[in-house]
Amino acid sequence: MESKIYNQSGKEVGKIQLPEKVFGLSPNADLVHQVITSMLSDARTIYAHTKDRGEVSGGGKKPWKQKGTGRARHGSTRSPIWVGGGIAHGPNGNRNYAKKINRKMKAKALYTILSQKYRDNEILFVDKFEFEKPKTVEAVKVLTSLSKIENFKYILSKKNNSALIAIGKKNSALEKSFSNVGNVEVDEVRNINPVDLLNYKYLVIENPTEAVAFIESKMAIAK
């Protein structure tokens, strides 16, 4: 499998051989769904929480004596049947929604999505991005140049979640340049995951030789 490498001006500067086991897999919707569901569950933030009778304040004293008042027996105002008492069977912030997925499944799901994006011509390889200092106008200029490449004409004009730019290492000038471009996200290649790949239409990979080698090593690490 061979793909073209471009520079940030949108001109072809070389080619790269892609591993079949990363960019040539058949679709596997069940695996991808299982991994995505697990990752979204792990990232779920629990907000709803009610206090049970052991967490509400007050109630240390018996409201009235056990017998002789003509009223029902009560031991504490913390009881769920009292106004201001604890809540019985309410939502609890200690719930755990995590779903276990092993590393090999995550890596395989990542490769499956990459393969589909490659078939759909949604992966762009760029040799390197060079920004002397953070400037949004330069970021827009780069996207304009890349939009002239066949199959990537919407990389700039797509309103939301247009592209994920995967860079080799942290580059503050690059990240700040794209920070005001709302439809583009910049992250290190080591952080790309199935959820991010599905959230963005295009994937732009910088320094593809090293990036592809790192992505390919994910399966070896998972074993």
The amino acid occupying position 171 is: N
Nearest to 216 by CA among 31, 24, 19: 19
pLDDT value at residue 1 = 84
Nearest to 138 by CA among 83, 175, 87, 101: 175
Tens of pLDDT along 54-86? 999 987 889 999 999 999 999 999 999 999 999
Tens of pLDDT along 155-214? 999 999 999 999 998 999 999 999 999 899 999 999 999 999 999 999 999 999 999 999
**pLDDT band, very low/low/confident/very high, at 223 (cuts 50, 70, 90):** low
**pLDDT band, very low/low/confident/very high, at 140 (cuts 50, 70, 90):** very high
Task: Give this prediction's pTM.
Answer: 0.83
Nearest to 223 by CA among 116, 106, 100, 112: 106
Q: Is 142 exposed, middle or buried (0-12, 13-18, 19+ CB in 10 A)?
A: buried
pLDDT value at residue 96 = 86
**pLDDT band, very low/low/confident/very high, at 16 (cuts 50, 70, 90):** very high
Domains delineated in the chain: 2-27+102-222 (3.40.1370.10), 51-94 (no CATH)
For 83, how many CA atoms within 13 A lie in the half-sphere containing its CB?
Answer: 0
Residues above pLDDT 90, as percent of the chain: 83
- What mean pLDDT value characterizes the chain? 93
